[in-house]
Structure 1
Amino acid sequence: MSGFANSIYRGSDMIMKLAYLNLLWIGFSLLGGIILGVFPATVALFTVIRKWIMGNKDISIFQTFWQCYKRDFVGINVIGLVLGIIGFVLAVDIYYFSSINSLLSKSILIIFGILSLFYLITILYLIPTYVHFELKGFQYVKYALILGITNIGGTIVIILGCVAVTFVYMKIPATLLFFSMSVIGVIVMWPAYRGFLKINNQGQMDLVKANK
């Protein structure tokens, strides 16, 4: 019974931490006016989750979050702005060519579909790569795509997990306040982190060094 009670306590404690972390993410996203706040807040959230996964479960959540938010505010916003523009261009192009009924437009649409898949993989791995590796500027974008393709099994798990939790959010909207990004952060960071360790152990990414 003591073991069972301990498991209940640890589970409840993690649920509370995830809820608190999610509230921090919402608050600091709003602090940056959403547009400028969401990327550094997401980096801070993933940094905390990464430390938990690595076994550092007793860290100060607020202090770690705030330090990361301040430190990465400019850098991640620059990258996020560029990726946002690229995503907008892809969406407009796909919408435009899908409205044209011709063989050429269908061929171009397939190309943009492939590019969109690579874009999605890059987005999924950008923040985990940013918080785990020490790189420069848009090297994070390059290696996010490489790591996402290399860790294809983890990428599939991430996509399926995000789809499943989104379905839950749609059915129970009240969970969005407390678990919208924190749970997604765990779903994305856990497989990504395991993929990073596997790649490092195999010596496939000699140019990338874990930093934090």
Structure 2
Amino acid sequence: MSSMGYGLLRVPEWVLRFAYLNVLWVVFTMTGLIVFGVFPAARATLSVAERWLRGETDFSVFRTFWRGYKTNFVQSNVLGFLIVVTGAALYLYFLLIQQIDGPAVYVLQYVLLLVSTMYVLTMLYMFPVSIRHDAGILSIVKTSFLVMLVSPLSTLMTIAGIFIMYLLVMYLPGLLPVFGASASAFLLMWSSEIAFSNIERKKEKQLPASKAG
């Protein structure tokens, strides 16, 4: 059988894997009463996606998901709480700025737009970073911010992937309950892995230079 034929035969297999992972995300989000379940479930979904991206397929998706959900339940919720509170604060500042008159409002709007953009882009890397690095909350936030700054191409790929997912859901809303979370997690983890690899290569190039100096 040709490689193309073999690849086509594996398409239904991967469709089922993504659908099953999406079901786990829904079930465990509901298990945590949505508010306390959505972020641990998101992190667990990313942990499964990471193993797939490493080429691993012969493992229990449920056990990997459950381990990621249970072990990192508290940290995931703290990260999620930080994301929500920061986003709410930025939105509140936006509403307050609208009440200001004069030329200063344009400067404040520009600053808020810049801060909000950096917040969103940093937020995208927080959970992938938490999977790659066993660190505290502040270290995860700092590392995510640095990854965002030094990996603009990967960040653009992440945004493009999210936009494509948005268009697919808009035109094919039936995909959302079947592949929404799992496909989004895979795209996010894929672009994040590219960013991590680029950073590691840059570090390796700097090592000989520092030794030579």
- TM-score scaled by structure 1? 0.91
Residue equivalent to 2:108: 108
1:3 offset after TM fit, Å? 3.2
Are 1:34 and 2:43 matched, yes or no?
Answer: no
Partner Cα distance (1:125, 1:160) in 2: 15
| 1:3-14 equivalences in 2 (<5 Å) | 3-14=3-14
**For structure 1, which segment, 100-109 or 111-120, has the greater mean C-alpha deviation from structure 2 after superposition?**
100-109
Are 1:89 and 2:89 matched, yes or no?
Answer: yes
1:10 offset after TM fit, Å? 1.6
1:202 offset after TM fit, Å? 2.1
Change (3 A) 1:99 1:179: farther
Partner Cα distance (2:31, 2:151) in 1: 34
2:169 maps to amino acid:
Y
Q: CA RMSD in A?
A: 1.6
Do the aligned residues in 2 keep the contact of 1:46 with 1:185 (CA within 8 Å)?
yes
1:96 offset after TM fit, Å? 2.8
1:192 maps to amino acid:
S
Residue equivalent to 2:130: 130
Matched length: 205
Do the aligned residues in 2 keep the contact of 1:19 with 1:178 (CA within 8 Å)?
yes
Residue equivalent to 2:180: 180
Are 1:70 and 2:70 matched, yes or no?
Answer: yes
1:95 offset after TM fit, Å? 2.7
1:75 offset after TM fit, Å? 1.0
2:184 maps to amino acid:
I
Do the aligned residues in 2 keep the contact of 1:98 with 1:106 (CA within 8 Å)?
no
2:149 maps to amino acid:
I
Residue equivalent to 2:16: 16
Do the aligned residues in 2 keep the contact of 1:121 with 1:149 (CA within 8 Å)?
no
1:76 offset after TM fit, Å? 1.4
**Any idea what SS the aligned residue of 2:33 has?**
coil
Do the aligned residues in 2 keep the contact of 1:79 with 1:138 (CA within 8 Å)?
no
1:83 offset after TM fit, Å? 2.0
Residue equivalent to 2:58: 58
Partner Cα distance (2:186, 2:64) in 1: 17
**For structure 1, which segment, 35-44 or 98-107, has the greater mean C-alpha deviation from structure 2 after superposition?**
98-107
1:161 offset after TM fit, Å? 1.2
Give the percent of matched residue pairs that are identical in Structure 1 and Structure 2: 28
User: Gaps (5+ residues) in structure 2?
Assistant: 207-213
Residue equivalent to 1:119: 119
Partner Cα distance (1:102, 1:169) in 2: 41
1:141 offset after TM fit, Å? 1.0
Higher helix share goes to which structure? 2
1:155 maps to amino acid:
T
Partner Cα distance (1:11, 1:176) in 2: 19
Bigger radius of gyration: 2
1:67 offset after TM fit, Å? 0.8
Partner Cα distance (2:182, 2:99) in 1: 37
1:198 offset after TM fit, Å? 1.8
1:79 offset after TM fit, Å? 1.9
1:92 maps to amino acid:
L
1:2 offset after TM fit, Å? 4.4
**Any idea what SS the aligned residue of 2:35 has?**
coil
Partner Cα distance (1:134, 1:72) in 2: 10
User: Gaps (5+ residues) in structure 1?
Assistant: 207-212
Residue equivalent to 1:80: 80
